[in-house]
Amino acid sequence: MNVFEFEVLIERIGTSHEVLVGQGVLPDQTLTEIYEGRDRLELELEPGIELEFWRETRRFETLFVTLIRTIPSMSKYEGELPISYMLEMTQSDVHAVFGEPMASKGPIKMPVPIGMTGGWDSYPLDPELYPGKKVVFQYAQDMRVKTLVFTLIDKGHR
- Global pTM value: 0.93
Compute CA 74 distance to the chain's CA centroid, rounded to the nearest angstrom: 14
Q: Which residues of the chain have pLDDT under 70?
A: 113-114, 158
Please give the full DSSP string across 72-96, using - where no structure is assigned: TT-----S---TT--SS-BHHHHHH
Per DSSP, 71 falls in state: S
**What's the DSSP call for residue 143?**
S
Which pLDDT does position 37 carry in this prediction? 76
Question: Helix, strand, or coil here: 97?
Answer: helix
74 Ramachandran zone, left/alpha/beta (phi>0; psi -120 to 50): beta
The pLDDT score that the predictor gives to residue 113 is: 66
Rounded (5°) CA angle 2-3-9: 95
How many beta carbons lie within 10 A of that of residue 46, not counting itself? 11
For the chain, give every domain's residue range: 3-152
pLDDT of residue 128: 94
What is the pLDDT, as a whole number, of residue 33? 87
Rounded to an integer, what distance in angstroms lies between the CA atom of residue 137 and that of residue 90? 10
